[in-house]
Structure 1
Amino acid sequence: MALSNEQKKAYRAIGHTLNPIVTIASKGLTEAVLEEIGRALDDHELIKIKVSVGDREVKKVVIKALVEQTGAELVQQIGNTALLLRRNPKAKANLSNLQR
């Protein structure tokens, strides 16, 4: 599901006020990190992640692997921060970052 430019703009506006939920550091994408990101995506649908793994190329590889393994979409990446979206029709309205 590719996002349109209007959708990306709306999600970026929501994501601007969010704080990073998970930080990926030197150990990279461990099973525990992937589980936590999956849980956060189920609950919040739109999350911000901080990726502090080194140089630019390593960061791109980690984010690409993260998107593939979680089934999420990359809305935006700026510096060490990535904004991910994975819709959940059964998400609780009080936890979701998306308006219902």
Structure 2
Amino acid sequence: MITSKQRSYLRSIGNTLQPLFQVGKAGIEKNFLKQIEEALESREIIKIKILNNSGITAREASDIICTATGAEAIQTIGFKCVLYKMSLNNSTIELP
């Protein structure tokens, strides 16, 4: 569990990121979750865009992905969400 100060710090990092993945009409599948886990392990923080034709909201997608991967939802605004998971091997982000 991260504190509000840490969440604020991670939000500031997430604001500069470009979306790395898109959730489309295929939805959230096992292969998609595997790619997200790999990206979280290497980058620790990622931004995901949820397209209109996906049939789910950004909050719902964030909840599904966080439950499946063990990540923390940092921010959900509009059709984008920012996720964070501390890397086990190469942690590069120092939380305050």
Query: Do they fold alike, i.e. is TM over 0.5?
Result: yes
Question: How many angstroms apart in 2 are the aligned matches of 1:4 and 1:14?
Answer: 16
Question: How many angstroms apart in 2 are the aligned matches of 1:77 and 1:63?
Answer: 8
Q: CA RMSD of the aligned region, Å?
A: 1.7
Aligned to 1:48, the other structure's residue is in SS state strand
Does residue 9 of the first structure (1) align with residue 3 of the second (2)? no
Aligned to 1:20, the other structure's residue is in SS state coil
Q: Is the 8 A contact 2:44 2:91 kept in 1?
A: no
Determine the structure 1 residue equivalent to 2:75: 76
Question: How many angstroms apart in 2 are the aligned matches of 1:49 and 1:90?
Answer: 23
Question: How many angstroms apart in 2 are the aligned matches of 1:80 and 1:72?
Answer: 18
- Alpha-carbon displacement from aligned partner over 1:47-78 (angstroms, at most 9, x marks no partner): 11111224xxx213222111100100000000
Question: How many angstroms apart in 2 are the aligned matches of 1:13 and 1:31?
Answer: 30
Determine the structure 2 residue equivalent to 1:43: 42
Does residue 24 of the first structure (1) align with residue 42 of the second (2)? no
Question: How many angstroms apart in 1 are the aligned matches of 2:15 and 2:61?
Answer: 22
Q: 1:34 is aligned with what amino acid? A: L
1:44 Cα deviation (Å)? 0.3
TM-score, L = length of structure 1: 0.83
Question: How many angstroms apart in 2 are the aligned matches of 1:13 and 1:62?
Answer: 21
Determine the structure 2 residue equivalent to 1:85: 84
- Percent identity, please: 29
Structure 2 residue runs of 5 or longer lacking an equivalent are none
TM-score, L = length of structure 2: 0.86
Structure 1 residue runs of 5 or longer lacking an equivalent are none
Question: How many angstroms apart in 1 are the aligned matches of 2:13 and 2:61?
Answer: 24
Q: 1:74 is aligned with what amino acid? A: A
